[in-house]
Structure 1
């Protein structure tokens, strides 16, 4: 997550949505009082101990709200990026087993393991995307939601709103795999649709 007091925005970094590329671009515009929390590639912590001890930068708008204050939270532009849950789940499976290489050997076996056998409920990268951008009432707190599928155009539109010059996003921390539809059968389609149904409805995605 990045909070910019200079440009009055809050960027919630939803896991597996190209957040490292966006962070890298936004850092060029951060002022001396702006803050970021990140762990992978760079190590940065928020000045609030309760959030700093979380240890990763994938915080929700709701988590940072009480530390920022209601006036700033309401006034700052809040944005995030989302991704087709079917594609994101394949990316998660590849990421989570990258050291073992098991996804490359048996992708559907890995997908079934995480969906049906041992879902990693405590792993924030596995969590649904809406968890990072909605409040306790289920309402979306983001003012703008970009999509990975149109990432550069979405980022350019966000830059226009926050008043910074857009730049070409670089690919950072990408995985080597094919089109997500190459990995699914009907059981897996139904499993992802059941687990991430709220994301599909909220962000306008389907298989």
Structure 2
């Protein structure tokens, strides 16, 4: 999550939705923020204490965290935006990310179908931060009562177009979006990873994302 006092925005960073590129593009704006030094110091102090002093908004915070921590009028006046992604495509992206960087989590469930069924199994014992893609996208965008708090929801599928729209609204020159963390080990079409049963399972698990964000397994 990135908060800018100077440009009056709050960016909610949902994992695997192009956020690393967006964060990199916003980096130059952060240096111009009058509170950047204070934010940087709080971030470092939080890390030194094992994040026990609640002095920063973590990278993948839900918007409700900012709502609870910031003054009400200030929060309401921020331009709050996020990017989302087709939940079926997101599962494929997250699977390959874990396969590359945390392969021990896949032991005994190396295939995409086996791992996805296991991680979405409601009987699976809780395991902290197994996979950020388990969390419905809309959980990052709503308050405790399920009301949408974001002013603009961009789409990973049209990342550059929606990024241009956001920058125009903020009144800033559009910083270029660098290509970050592009996977080279996955098939391009996410649909090729799914059996019909598995596609239904993901659709049911992420039903609120499907309903509120309008995604479908087969967009055609």
CA drift of 1:67 comes to 2.3
Tell me, yes or no, if structure 1 residue 177 matches structure 2 residue 178. no
Give the 3 Å change call, closer, same or farther, for CA 128–62 of structure 1 in structure 2: same
Report which stretch shifted further, 82-91 or 64-73.
64-73
Question: Unaligned 5+ residue runs, structure 2?
Answer: 47-52
CA drift of 1:47 comes to 7.8
Larger radius of gyration: 2
**1:2–1:35: 8 Å Cα contact kept in structure 2?**
no
Tell me, yes or no, if structure 1 residue 157 matches structure 2 residue 165. yes
Q: CA RMSD in A?
A: 2.6
Map 1:75-154 to 2 at 5 A. 75-99=77-101, 100=103, 106-116=111-121, 118=124, 122-123=128-129, 125=132, 126-154=134-162
Question: Unaligned 5+ residue runs, structure 1?
Answer: 37-43
Q: Determine the C-alpha separation between the residues in 2 that align with 1:134 and 1:148.
A: 19
Residues 1-28 of structure 1, C-alpha deviations (whole Å, 9 max, x = no match): 1000000000000111111100000111
TM-score by length of 1: 0.85
Tell me, yes or no, if structure 1 residue 17 matches structure 2 residue 22. no
Tell me, yes or no, if structure 1 residue 58 matches structure 2 residue 63. no
Partner of residue 39, structure 1: none
Q: Determine the C-alpha separation between the residues in 1 that align with 2:141 and 2:160.
A: 20
Map 1:194-205 to 2 at 5 A. 194-205=204-215
Q: Determine the C-alpha separation between the residues in 2 that align with 1:85 and 1:98.
A: 20
